[in-house]
Chains A and B, each alone.
Chain A
Amino acid sequence: EAQVTQNPRYLITVTGKKLTVTCSQNMNHEYMSWYRQDPGLGLRQIYYSMNVEVTDKGDVPEGYKVSRKEKRNFPLILESPSPNQTSLYFCASSFDGSGYEQYFGPGTRLTVT
């Protein structure tokens, strides 16, 4: 089944404890992206990658890191999480090198206390 998977789905952590949210797609998509969803703000892009080893900042990259060492994986790293990063996070992918018509993962709900 073609899909985007994220792990974990739920995470509660404490301020300053490094964490990684994994994202993987099995559709051989070139483009991958991370978003955060907050009430009243819709989805805001954190980082995106148009191809392996190519990443770029979205609208809200502060406090996040990403890497794209393989085509299928695009992990999101929070090196020192803070409470304002409590949010619902989505990974997405798209078949070509653009963000057109994206496929989304199920989401990761992160709470930072």
Chain B
Amino acid sequence: GNSVTQMEGPVTLSEEAFLTINCTYTATGYPSLFWYVQYPGEGLQLLLKATKADDKGSNKGFEATYRKETTSFHLEKGSVQVSDSAVYFCALYRYNNNDMRFGAGTRLTVKP
């Protein structure tokens, strides 16, 4: 079946550090891929998405590229801020069977 694996946290960085959160997936065919962010006490918000191989999703300085050959969708940001502290979820969606799968989440803490 379809599944998502993302790097375990927690991740703690200093402000302005480079961020990478790894995400790999298992799926048949060509899923759409997403990163969602969950700020403390809130629901998930869509951060970025990519719908086909080699697409790059980007938003708020975050980027992720859909790599079919490595079945990956790693999240990156060049310079994190304290306000980026949150839990990040990688997810995939397959239209043909309406299957939505989330990773376990990675907690990021950015210190001043």
> What number of A residues sit within 8 Å (CB to CB) of B?
23
Asked whether B42 lies within 8 Å of A98 as measured between CB atoms, the reply is no
Q: Which of A42, A45, A101, A106 contacts B89, CB < 8 Å?
A: A42
Asked whether A48 lies within 8 Å of B46 as measured between CB atoms, the reply is no
Docked pose: A80 CA to B16 CA in angstroms: 49
Asked whether B98 lies within 8 Å of A101 as measured between CB atoms, the reply is no
Docked pose: A88 CA to B45 CA in angstroms: 16
Report chain A residues within 8 Å CB of B93.
98-100
Report chain B residues within 8 Å CB of A100.
32, 93, 95
Report chain A residues within 8 Å CB of B103.
42
Report chain A residues within 8 Å CB of B45.
104
Docked pose: A13 CA to B23 CA in angstroms: 37
Residues 50-61 of A, flagged 1 when their CB comes within 8 A of B and 0 if not, give 100000000000
Shortest distance in angstroms between B88's beta carbon and chain A's nearest beta carbon? Answer: 11
- With A43-B89, A98-B95, A98-B98 as contacts: A107 and B43 at CB distance below 8 Å: yes
> What number of B residues sit within 8 Å (CB to CB) of A?
21
Report chain A residues within 8 Å CB of B73.
none
Shortest distance in angstroms between A34's beta carbon and chain B's nearest beta carbon? Answer: 12
- Give the tally of cross-chain contacts (CB within 8 A): 49
- With A42-B102, A99-B100 as contacts: A4 and B43 at CB distance below 8 Å: yes
Docked pose: A98 CA to B36 CA in angstroms: 17
Q: Which of B41, B43, B46, B105 contacts A105, CB < 8 Å?
A: B43
Chain B residues 1 to 54 lying within 8 A of chain A, measured CB to CB, are: 4, 32, 34, 36, 41-46, 49
| Chain B, residue nearest A41 (CB) | B104
Docked pose: A27 CA to B35 CA in angstroms: 22
Shortest distance in angstroms between A107's beta carbon and chain B's nearest beta carbon? Answer: 5
19 further A-B pairs in the complex, CB-CB below 8 A; given A42-B103, A102-B100: A41-B104, A42-B104, A43-B89, A44-B102, A45-B100, A90-B44, A98-B98, A99-B93, A99-B99, A99-B100, A100-B93, A100-B95, A101-B34, A102-B44, A102-B46, A103-B46, A104-B43, A104-B45, A107-B43
Interface residues of A (CB under 8 A from B): 4, 33, 35, 40-45, 48, 50, 90, 92, 98-107
